[in-house]
Structure 1
Amino acid sequence: MTARILRIELRRSVAVPVALVLAAVGTALLLTFTEGFAGRWMQLAVAGRVLLAALWPLTLAGGVWMGRRDARSRVGELFATTARPRRQRVRPAAAALALCAVAGYALPLLAGAAWVIPTSGYFPADAVTVSAIGALSLVAAGWLGLAAGRAAPRLVTAPLLAVAAFAAGTLLPDWLTTRASVSDGGLDQAPSALLLTPVMVNPPADFQTITTRVDLVQALWLAAVAASGLLLFGARRRGLALAAAPAVVATAAALVLLPTGGYRAAAAVDPGAVALVCDRDGRPVCVRRAHAGLLPDVTAPARRALTLMADRLPGSPGRAVESRALPFWADRDAAQRAGVTPAGTLVFDSPDIGPRGHAGFDRDPVTTMLEAAFRGDCGDGPETPDAVLARTVAAAWLRGRPPVPLLWSDAATDRTADRAYRELTRLSPDDQRRLVARARLAALRCDTSPLAALLHPGSA
C-alpha cells in the first residue's frame, strides 16, 4: 500500500518536477567551470556543495509548493475527519520529495564524472561523505519547505523563503568571512555558525579534505533539521514545540562542536592526495596523487629542464617533483612555513588544469620549470620584483637564449632583463656557472639576495 501511494505521489505531485529543475540547473552551472574539478573527485564533490547556493533555495521552494497542496485544494477539514493519523498520511509525500531531491543532486554529479574519470588517478573516500552531506542538506531543505508550506500556504511563501535561504546560505557567510578577514583576528575568528550552511564558502584546495569532525557534526545537525521539518509537517498544533526540539538542540550542540574559521578551518591536508606518483622512465618526474592525470603533460618539459640544467649547472637536480604547497587562500600556516628545498630536486608549482583535466601552461613549460629551480619552499611572503626577474634571466641563461618577456612586464622591465642577460654572458664560463649555481643554492634556503644580484652580474 505504501509503495503504491509513493508511486502516485511521484506521478502527481511536484516532486519529479523539482528533481528535473535541480538536475537542469545543477548540470548547467556545473558544466560552466569544468576546469575547477576535471580529473579530481574531491573537487567534484566540493563543486556539488558550492552548487547548493542555488539548489538549496530551489528545493526549499519546491517543498513549500508541495506543502501548501492541502490548503490549495481545500481538503484540510476533510482529512481532519479521517481516523488515520496525519503523520502517516504525509510520509509518502515527504519520501517522494526526499527521493527526488537526492536524485536532482546526484544527476549533475554523475554528469560531472565524465570530466573526472578520464584523467583521475585518486578517489578519496571523503568525496562520498562530502556529497552525501550535500544530498542530506537538500532533504532537510525539502522537508522544511513542506512544513513552511503547511504553516503559511500563501503564493508568496515559496519565493520569499527561496530568497531568504540564498541570503542566509551564501551572502551572509560570504559577508561574515570578508568581515573576519579584515579584522585583527583574521579568518580564524570567523564564527562557527558559518559551518552550519552546507554551501562551501572558501572551499578546500586540491590537496585538502574536510575533517571527520566537521563532517560528522554537519551530518548530525542536518539530520536533526530534516527530522524537525518532517515532524512539523506531520504534527498537530499542540505538538509543534516538541517537533522543533531536535533542530534547536542540534543547533546549540553544533555551535559548540564546530570550529571557528569557517570552511577554511574545516579543511585539512589529505595524505593520500599529496602522495607522489612518478614516471621513472628516465630522470624521475613526480606529481601529487591528486594530480596524477597531469603526469604525462609535465614529464617532457620537466625532463627537458633537468637536461638543460645538467648540461650547464654544477650540482644540478636529478629529479622534478610537484610542490605540495597550498594556494595562499587555503593554507592556514603559509606565513609560518619556511624550509630548505633539497638541491637535488626541482620543485615546480602545480600547473593550471584545463577543462578536460590536462595541464595548461600560460608560458613555455620548460622555461617555467627552469624558473622553478630557483625558488625554495619559503611560504607565501611578499617577493621582490628583482627576484622574479632574476629567475627569468637564470632560466634564459640555462636555455642559452635571451629572456622571454614576462606576462606582466613592461618595456623597461624587458630592457633590464635583456641587459642583465648580456652582462652575464660576457663573463667567463666559469664565472657564469658560479654565479648562477650560488644564486640557486641561496634561493633554496630562502635567501634571494644572490639571485637578485644576477641583474647586475658585472658587480657580483
Structure 2
Amino acid sequence: MTARILRIELRRTAALGIAMLMLVTGAALLLSATPSFAGRWMQLAVMARSMLMVLLPLALAGGAWMGQRDARYRVNELLASTVRPRWQRVIPTASALAISVVTAYLLIFLIAAGWVVPTSGYFPSATILVTAVGVPALIAAGWLGMAAGRAVPRVITAPILAVLGFALVGLAPELASSPAMDTDLAYFRPEPAAVLLIPTFTGLDDFQTIATSVSLLQALWLASLAATGLLLLGASRRRAIAYAVLPAVLGVTVALPLLPVGGARGAAVVDPVAIELVCDSDGPQVCVTRAHTALLPAVVGPARQALAMMAAKLPNAPVRAVETRQVSFWARLDPHAVPARHSPDTFVFDTPSFDHVGHADLSGDYFLPSLLQAAWQQECGERPIRGEVYRARMVAAAWLTGRPPTPPGWAPDEVAQMQSTYQAFVSLPEAEQRRRMAAARESALACRDDELVTILPTDQQ
C-alpha cells in the first residue's frame, strides 16, 4: 500500500514539478560554468556542491509548497479525524519529495559529467563522497520546508523561505570572512568552523580535495537535520515538536567541535595522488601531474621543442620538463603543498589556463613562449611576482627564439618597450648574452626572481 501511495505522490503532487525546476536551473547554471570543471572530476564535484547555493533554497520553497497542501485544500480536520497516525500519512509525501530532489541533483551531475569523461585522465575516489554530501542537504531542506509550510500555511511562506535560504547558504559564508591585511600579502580572515555546516564549496584548485573527515561530519550533521525536519513534519503535539529538534542538536554537538576553522580553506587538503608525476620518456622526459594526465600527449611535442631550443643557446640547459605542482597558499601547511625544488636539469611549466584543461589549445602562439619562459622559473611557493620579472621572462624567451617578443593582448607601448629592450640586449656580445642568461637562470632556480632583470643591459635597468 505504501509503495502504491508513493507512486501516486510522485505522479500527482508538486514533487515532480519541483524536481524539474531544480534540474533545469541547476543544469543551466552548471553548464554555463563548463570550462571551470572540464576534464576534472573533483572540480565538477565542487561545482555541484556550489550549485546547492541555488538548489537548497528551491528545495526549501518546494517543500513549503507541498507542506501547505492539506491546508490549501481544507482537509486538515478531515485527515486529523482518521485513526492513522500523522507520521504514516506524511512519510509517502516526504519520500516523494526526497526522491525527486535527489534525482534532480544526481541528474545535474551526470549531465555535466559528459564534459568531464572525454578529457579526464584521473578520477579521485573522494569525488563520490564530496558529491554525495549534497544528498542529505537537499533532503533536509525539503523536509524542513514541508514542516514550515505545514506550520505556516500561507502563500508567502514558500517565497520567504527561498529568500532566507539563499541568504543563509549564499551570503553567510561571505559575511563570515572579511578581508584582512598582513605585512606581506592580503588574505581572508579564517572563517569559523560553523561555516562548514553549510555544505557549499568554492575555490579548490586542481590538486586539492576536501578532507574525508569533513565530508563525513557534514553528512552526519545534514542527516540529523533531515531527521529533525521529518520529525517536525510528523509531530502533532508540543512534546513531540520539542523532541524533534534533538537529532539536529545532537548532530551539531558532535560535528561542530571536530570541523576545522577556515571554511573551505580549512577543509581543503592536497590530494597526494593528483600531484604525482606521469611521464613520457620516449625522448627527453616530459612529465605532467596525474590530475592533468589527459594533457600529456599534447604537451610532449611543444615541451621537447622548447628543450631543443634551450639546448641550442642556453648554457647548462635543462634536459627534462615537468609540470609545476604549485597549490594554493592555503594548503601550504600540508607537507605536499610545496614540493621540493627541481634540479637545474629540469624546467617546470604551467599547463595553459587551468580553467580550460579539458579543451586546452597547446599548439597556439601562447604555449611555446610560456614553455621557453619556464627556463627562468622554479617552484618557490605562491608569492607576488613583479611585472618587471614577467617582462624579463618574455625577453629571455624571445632571445631563445631569435625573434623580438610579440606577446598577444599586451598594450602596444609595452610591446614596443620589450622589443626595445630585446634589441638592446641582443646588441651585446654573444658571450655576454649567454653569461647574463646563465646568471639569470641560476638566480631564478634559487627563487631570487627579482634578479632576473639582470638580463637587461645596464643602461636599461
State TM-score, norm by structure 2. 0.93
Q: CA RMSD in A?
A: 2.3
The change in CA–CA distance for 1:124 and 1:247 in structure 2 (over 3 A counts) is same
| Residue deviations 1:12-36 (CA, integer Å, cap 9, x gap) | 1111111111111111111111101
* Contact 2:421-2:460 within 8 A present in 1 as well: no
The change in CA–CA distance for 1:349 and 1:103 in structure 2 (over 3 A counts) is same
Pairwise CA distance, 1:454: 1.0
Q: How does 1:144-159 map to 2 (within 5 A)?
A: 144-159=144-159
- Matches of 1:203 and 1:394 in 2, distance apart? 33
Q: Which consecutive residues of structure 1, in runs of 5 or more, have no partner in the other structure? A: none
Q: How does 1:111-122 map to 2 (within 5 A)?
A: 111-122=111-122
> Secondary structure of 1:135's match?
helix
* Contact 1:34-1:356 within 8 A present in 2 as well: no
| Residue deviations 1:249-283 (CA, integer Å, cap 9, x gap) | 22233322211111011000001111112222322
* Correspondence for 1:27: 27
* Correspondence for 2:253: 252
* Correspondence for 1:139: 139
Pairwise CA distance, 1:117: 0.5
Tell me the percent identity.
Answer: 50
Q: Is 1:393 paired with 2:392?
A: no
* Correspondence for 1:292: 293
The change in CA–CA distance for 1:180 and 1:422 in structure 2 (over 3 A counts) is closer
> Secondary structure of 1:357's match?
helix
**Amino acid in the other structure paired with 2:378:** G
* Contact 1:319-1:346 within 8 A present in 2 as well: yes
Pairwise CA distance, 1:435: 1.5
Of 358-367 and 297-306, deviating more is: 358-367
The change in CA–CA distance for 1:212 and 1:449 in structure 2 (over 3 A counts) is closer
**Amino acid in the other structure paired with 1:448:** D
Number of residue pairs aligned between Structure 1 and Structure 2: 455
* Correspondence for 1:129: 129
The change in CA–CA distance for 1:454 and 1:186 in structure 2 (over 3 A counts) is closer
Of 445-454 and 415-424, deviating more is: 415-424
Of 362-371 and 76-85, deviating more is: 362-371
> Secondary structure of 1:268's match?
strand
> Secondary structure of 2:124's match?
coil
**Amino acid in the other structure paired with 1:241:** A
| Residue deviations 1:188-228 (CA, integer Å, cap 9, x gap) | 5311111111121x332111100112111100000000000
* Correspondence for 2:380: 378
* Contact 1:417-1:455 within 8 A present in 2 as well: no
**Amino acid in the other structure paired with 2:30:** L
> Secondary structure of 2:133's match?
helix
**Amino acid in the other structure paired with 1:369:** L
| Residue deviations 1:115-143 (CA, integer Å, cap 9, x gap) | 00101111111110011101221011111
* Correspondence for 1:204: 204
* Contact 2:352-2:367 within 8 A present in 1 as well: no
- Matches of 1:6 and 1:340 in 2, distance apart? 60
* Correspondence for 1:264: 265
- Matches of 1:338 and 1:452 in 2, distance apart? 26
- Matches of 1:102 and 1:118 in 2, distance apart? 25
The change in CA–CA distance for 1:260 and 1:181 in structure 2 (over 3 A counts) is farther
* Correspondence for 2:194: 193
> Secondary structure of 1:231's match?
helix
* Correspondence for 1:358: 359
Pairwise CA distance, 1:355: 5.5
* Correspondence for 1:403: 405
State TM-score, norm by structure 1. 0.93
The change in CA–CA distance for 1:61 and 1:258 in structure 2 (over 3 A counts) is same
- Matches of 1:213 and 1:41 in 2, distance apart? 19
* Correspondence for 1:278: 279
* Correspondence for 2:429: 428
- Matches of 1:415 and 1:151 in 2, distance apart? 70
* Correspondence for 2:167: 167
